[in-house]
Chain A
Amino acid sequence: MAQKRVSLFVTCLVDQFYPEVGEATVRLLRHLGVEVDFPADQTCCGQVALNGGYRSHATAVAKRFVEVFRGSEAIVAPSGSCVATIHAHYGDLLRGYPELAEEVASLQARTYELSQYLVDVLGVENVGARLPSPARVTYHDCCHALRDLGVGAQPRRLLSAVDGAELTEMKDSASCCGFGGTFSVKFADISSAILREKLHNVEATGADVLTAVDSSCLMHMGGALRRQGSRTRPMHIAELLCEGIEGERA
């Protein structure tokens, strides 16, 4: 098999708030024999601006993204939502640059959410992870990963293969956690009401760990779990899959 190379798009949230998720992603990919680089010029995918209605800003950021990742063989991000922005919206955003159309299409075809890359491209299901002590794990389907990218089966396969993890489905795993970016602040009451129901389903599983493919949803659900003093711990899937594997640090 030819040496696989990927560029990590770490996402702005992981970069600034959850760097350990980025490190885990790198470790995991290297552990599986993939060469990883990190284009240092990267910043954000533009989703923040797009969702806020600032299309022109989002367009500028999208254009920049295309340029930064121009030379990358494949791009992997530990986020379904950011990858979905590229897949579902870069076409619209960059419509005014017909000269980029082909490049955008190729970028979209080369950009993967982490679990998607592991399962669909590498064909790996068992990454060799082993939890330090047995734990019950429940998986939340992040909206954009599930509905824009069709990512649902991949993370579950990966998690099922983790030694010591007992994957337990929650009720309505595909229902939104109420985050929605600035929605969670602008409409805090509604967001919190949706979140309450979600966490009820999470906690009903008795899970030790709540995992997902997006740090943003985990930040949202985890922030409330912490506030409530819940024993359920939020953990990004990259970190969970890194448990017990040998590998160099990022």
Chain B
Amino acid sequence: MTDVLSAHFKEQAAEAIGNATIQESLDRLVNFRQGRVDAIAEYGQERWDALSQSAREIKRETLEHLDYYLDELSRNVERAGGHVFFARDAAEANEYVAKVAADNGVKTVTKSKSMVSEEMGIADVLESMGIEPVETDLGEYIIQLAREAPYHIIAPALHKSKEEVSELFERILGTPAESDITALAGVARKVLREKFLEADMGMTGANFGVSETGTIVMVTNEGNGRMCSSLPRVHVATMGMERVIPRLRDVATYLPLLTRSATGQRISSYVSFVTGPRRSDEEDGPQEFHLVILDNGRSRMLADPELREALYCIRCGACLNACPVYGKVGGHAYGWVYPGPIGAVVTPSLVGVPKAKDLPFASTLCGACRDVCPLKIDIPRMLLKLRSDAVEGPAETRVPRRVESLMMRAWRRTVAGPRLFSLAGKVTSAAQWPLSRRGSLRWLPPPLSGWTRTRDFPRAAMRPFRARWRKDEGNRGG
């Protein structure tokens, strides 16, 4: 599995905030945001909401009977001549893919963008076997050359300026410097075309796995998914187990939600449907087709009624674009495969809260993510649930926080009645006096010093509201 660096969220975030190139690239998210808004306006808000509602309904139904649909999917893939492997975790999935590659004497693997394969960390495994994995999505190719993790679910190289890409190509591919994006894409295309022809195995993800037909559906803009699934001898598709949808016609529900939310497109340039390997009467296509269905912690989410809906996610990236925190810290701060609001839910859920302890807390809970999510996933509520797991949950999810929990206990006693509450106010107000100047404080000791670095803090009132009320009016209620 790809290493989890989420424990270093704060340092990674600070680095991004201090990096002008990264901040500039994050400003470009506004284009995604606007694209989405326009695309929904064109579609019609009411129609959109109805579509969103049916998509939720389908997911609810499917996850309710996930065992049934996965079984149906697997039988239909096999009927079409493919193989299906259920992997409990990333290690099992990697082992299976490695074996397929070894059995087929594979030397080069072309890959199209897949979050699940990132989650598995399959590229490293193949490399360690002496097999060359080549990312074929332009953005993924760039970050592969740079040896980095994807920055954004939809735009993996969002953080790279064209100058950086040119410099990268120059350094690694030895191509002359280019300042034009089309020219840079041309450079990559030339290299990748050779790899496509050379590859013995293609790996793709699957946006949807249709159980009634055993079809996997890939949504791409560069057509590279189709190249990976049709040119090499062997095609291995990986998907998270929540990607199954019951009927082929359900694609029509999800596709507009996905492309309009992701890039503002009515439909992506390519939508590929793959059902099994090449048939006997067909000239093209792989001789072998394998579908790897990954659990890797998803069953745990499924079993938790408060997290289950996170499995509705279709990875459109809209919540990243809308998130004020992602907009400042970018993708790498989150330290694993899935960044942004959905990453802050998925990462602790899959790898365990203690390994990603900051993520549930690194949110203002503003709710912008829930607003834009085409599946209406209530991410802030899930973050609250994960926070409570970290604070009050069972031993395996708890993260020790002694001082804070002592303070919280004191707080609870304070708010348990008006007497202590008033007293606490008076104490605060008195303690603040020596620090304050004209009603506000410019400096506070840790842990509040973070506030006063950039903001004044108000001084507690000498006479709180309740004292004023009593004095001037008498207490008529309560």
Chain A interface (Cβ < 8 Å from any Cβ of B): 7, 10, 12, 14-19, 22-23, 26, 37-44, 46, 48-57, 60-61, 64, 68, 72, 89, 92, 143-144, 147-148, 174-176, 178-195, 219-220, 222-224, 226-227, 249-250
Contact = CB atoms under 8 A, between A and B. Distances in A.
Given A37-B477, A188-B451, A195-B455, 12 more contacts: A16-B428, A16-B465, A17-B461, A19-B461, A50-B384, A54-B405, A57-B408, A57-B412, A61-B415, A144-B367, A190-B13, A194-B327
B477 A51 contact: no
Nearest to B438: A226
Nearest to A37: B477
A223 B455 contact: yes
A183 B454 contact: no
Contact of A53 (B388, B455, B476): B388
Given A64-B416, A192-B454, A180 B478 contact: no
Interface of B: 10, 13-14, 17, 324-325, 327-329, 360-368, 370-371, 381, 384, 387-392, 404-405, 408-409, 411-412, 414-418, 421, 425, 428-429, 440, 442, 447-448, 450-451, 453-461, 463-466, 468-470, 472-473, 475-478
Contacts of B360: 53
A18 B476 contact: no
Contacts of A193: 17, 328
30 contacts: A12-B421, A15-B425, A17-B460, A37-B477, A38-B477, A42-B478, A46-B415, A52-B404, A53-B384, A54-B412, A57-B411, A147-B367, A147-B368, A175-B324, A178-B324, A178-B364, A180-B364, A184-B451, A185-B448, A188-B450, A188-B451, A188-B454, A189-B13, A194-B328, A195-B454, A223-B451, A224-B456, A226-B455, A250-B465, A250-B473
Given A17-B460, A250-B469, A49 B365 contact: no
Interface core residue of A68, A175, A189 (most chain B CB under 10 Å):
A189
B458 A18 contact: yes
A176 B364 contact: yes
Contact of A143 (B364, B456, B458): B364
A37 B478 contact: yes
Contacts of A42: 418, 478
Contact of A219 (B428, B458, B477): B458
The main secondary structure of chain A at its interface with chain B is helix
A183 to B, nearest CB: 5
B412 A223 contact: no
Given A61-B412, A193-B17, A226-B440, A55 B388 contact: yes
Given A16-B460, A40-B478, A180 B363 contact: yes
A211 B325 CA distance: 23
A22 B392 contact: no
Given A49-B411, A175-B324, A43 B361 contact: no
A64 to B, nearest CB: 7
Nearest to A188: B450
A10 B469 CA distance: 11
Contacts of A186: 361, 447, 450
Contacts of A188: 450-451, 453-454
Nearest to A88: B381
A2 B476 CA distance: 19
Interface core residue of A53, A64, A181 (most chain B CB under 10 Å):
A53
Contacts of B415: 12, 43-44, 46, 61, 64
A250 B392 contact: no
A185 B388 contact: no
Contacts of A192: 453-455
Contacts of B409: 57
Contacts of B459: 17
B478 A19 contact: no
A12 B241 CA distance: 46
B73 to A, nearest CB: 34
B418 A147 contact: no
Given A22-B465, A176-B368, A189 B17 contact: yes
Contacts of A189: 13-14, 17, 450
Contacts of A191: 364, 450
Q: Which 10 A-B pairs have the closest CB atoms?
A: A37-B477, A188-B450, A180-B364, A53-B387, A39-B478, A223-B455, A53-B391, A176-B366, A22-B465, A19-B465
